[in-house]
């Protein structure tokens, strides 16, 4: 195993930070017993990948921690989330792909100050199938790529049979399901295939949107792909682990860099996240995963700005994400849903970055956009 640290130790390491992190500003109340004194209305938009977790976090935070804060997160897909963030119609954006240098420059020019981006959680993209008899099915990058390219069309294909010598594979036709919208989950999935399969990189590449082969089924957001899998006999698709859990889908074990078939468990996601080399600017991918790590692992980033918010909104943004990253109950919920919380050292780095939100304390040039004015998020 490449990394000898205990994987589960990551989950236990961070709750002590909660007492040290007071939240967003001098008037921010981080007391998990409720009765907080913040008052703001926040709107966020982006990835469907973390939506089950975000909705749970939002419910707990706005009911038990800061009842005066309203958080509305719209699961519209990573591409739309980035677009709305750059258009300044939301208070924060979310994506499984970090902002590029070009997008950061666009954000700075439009807002008149720098954007802030930081990871908040790790998760696995699983290969899910609509057949409980395929429990324990093993796939590798090459077979997955050939399924989506139309080269492998049935579960008893020789290439799949070679990976599953002890499994009685059905002759059912495979119906591959993909994201039809601009998707961070697609970015994670296609990045994995591009780094592992040369011909896939040449033919399809990677990104939030691809030119898919003919004959595939498309679904909007992760829940749309999950529905596409369940509604089609022989359905197979890539979704975030929590969506597969919720839909009761069977998930494949995927062969990692060391040649080991790995089940997408919480521990395997944590192991994968520990393989990541995370630079100061938080622009990274999780590649070449071996050991006990599940190989198709992704990160969710949150985007804010260093200026342009009313201070009450900035305090609420900082307080909410600090609570989500450090509260023991919030971290436990992440694990229950199949997401891997950040480790202790990374959490400290992320909170330092998060606290740059509105640090320039200057209004956005040109005044508030209409959507921001309605949400009461920018200064006049």
The answer as to CATH 3.40.190.10 being correct for domain 124-273 is yes
Q: How far apart are CA 273 and CA 340, in angstroms?
A: 8
Beta bridge partners of 154: 173
Query: Using CB atoms within 10 A of its CB, is residue 59 exposed (0-12), middle (13-18) or buried (19+)?
Result: exposed
Tens of pLDDT along 234-245? Answer: 999 999 999 999
Q: How far apart are CA 224 and CA 30, in angstroms?
A: 36
Token pair listed for 170: 């059905």
Which whole number is the average pLDDT over 251-269? 97
| Pick from 338, 179, 176: nearest CA to 244 | 338
The pLDDT value given to residue 290: 96
Answer whether 130's CB lies under 8 Å from 230's CB: yes
Q: How far apart are CA 198 and CA 326, in angstroms?
A: 40
The pLDDT value given to residue 129: 97
Element spanning 253, H or E: strand 253-255
The pLDDT value given to residue 12: 36
Beta bridge partners of 304: 116
Q: How far apart are CA 290 and CA 254, in angstroms?
A: 11
Which whole number is the average pLDDT over 359-378? 49
* Statement: residue 372 has pLDDT above 80: no
* Statement: residue 371 has pLDDT above 90: no
The pLDDT value given to residue 326: 98
- The average confidence (pLDDT) of the chain is 88
The pLDDT value given to residue 193: 98
Q: 111-120, 213-222, 296-305, 356-365 — which is least confidently predicted?
A: 356-365
The pLDDT value given to residue 36: 76
* Statement: residue 378 has pLDDT above 90: no
DSSP state of 307: S
The pLDDT value given to residue 35: 55
Q: Three-state SS for 216? A: coil
| Pick from 191, 173, 174, 180: nearest CA to 225 | 180
Tens of pLDDT along 99-147? Answer: 999 999 999 999 999 999 999 999 999 999 999 999 999 999 999 999 9
Q: How far apart are CA 316 and CA 23, in angstroms?
A: 8
If one counts every other C-beta atom within 10 angstroms of the C-beta of residue 276, the result is 18
- Please list the residue range(s) of the chain that carry CATH number 3.40.190.10: 11-122+299-375, 124-273
Q: 126-130, 329-333, 365-369 — which is least confidently predicted?
A: 365-369
| Pick from 45, 128, 165: nearest CA to 94 | 45
Q: How far is CA 174 from the centre of its chain?
A: 27
Tens of pLDDT along 140-193? Answer: 999 999 999 999 999 999 999 999 999 999 999 999 999 999 999 999 999 999
The pLDDT value given to residue 361: 78
| Interhelix angle 184-196/141-149, nearest 10 degrees | 120
The pLDDT value given to residue 362: 47
Tens of pLDDT along 16-42? Answer: 343 333 443 333 333 443 457 999 999
Q: Model's pTM, two decimal places?
A: 0.85
pLDDT grade, residue 375 (50/70/90)? very low
- The CATH class, in words, for 11-122+299-375 is alpha beta
């Amino acid at each position: 195993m490449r990394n000898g640290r205990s994987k589960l130790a990551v989950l236990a390491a961070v709750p002590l930070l909660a007492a040290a992190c007071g939240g967003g500003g001098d008037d921010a109340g981080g007391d998990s017993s409720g009765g907080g004194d913040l008052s703001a209305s926040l709107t966020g938009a982006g990835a469907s990948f973390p939506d089950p977790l975000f909705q749970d976090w939002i419910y707990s935070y706005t009911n038990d921690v800061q009842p005066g804060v309203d958080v509305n997160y719209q699961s519209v897909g990573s591409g739309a989330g980035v677009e709305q963030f750059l258009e300044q119609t939301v208070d924060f954006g979310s994506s499984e792909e970090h902002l590029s240098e070009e997008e950061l420059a666009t954000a700075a020019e439009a807002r008149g100050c720098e954007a802030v981006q930081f990871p908040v959680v790790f998760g696995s993209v699983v290969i899910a199938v609509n057949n409980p008899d395929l429990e324990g099915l093993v796939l590798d990058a090459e077979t997955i790529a050939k399924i989506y390219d139309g080269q492998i069309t049935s579960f008893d294909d020789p290439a799949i049979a070679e990976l599953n010598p002890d499994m009685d594979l059905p002759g059912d036709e495979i119906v591959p399901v993909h994201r039809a919208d601009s998707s961070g989950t697609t970015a994670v999935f296609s990045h994995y295939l591009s780094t592992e399969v040369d011909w896939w990189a040449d033919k399809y590449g990677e990104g939030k949107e691809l030119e898919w082969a003919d004959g595939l089924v498309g679904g909007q957001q992760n829940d749309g792909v999950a529905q596409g899998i369940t509604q089609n006999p022989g359905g197979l698709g890539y979704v975030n682990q929590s969506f597969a859990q919720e839909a009761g889908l069977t998930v494949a074990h995927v062969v990692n860099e060391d040649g080991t078939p790995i089940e997408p468990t919480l521990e395997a996601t944590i192991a994968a996240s520990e393989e990541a080399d995370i630079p100061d600017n938080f622009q990274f991918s999780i590649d070449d995963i071996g050991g006990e790590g599940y190989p198709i692992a992704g990160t969710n980033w949150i985007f804010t700005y260093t200026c342009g918010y009313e201070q009450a909104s900035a305090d609420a943004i900082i307080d909410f994400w600090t609570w989500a990253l450090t509260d023991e109950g919030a971290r436990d919920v992440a694990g229950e849903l199949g997401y891997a919380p950040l480790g202790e050292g990374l959490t400290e780095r992320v909170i330092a970055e998060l606290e740059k939100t509105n640090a320039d304390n200057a209004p956005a040039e040109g005044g508030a956009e209409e959507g921001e004015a309605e949400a009461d998020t920018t200064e006049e």
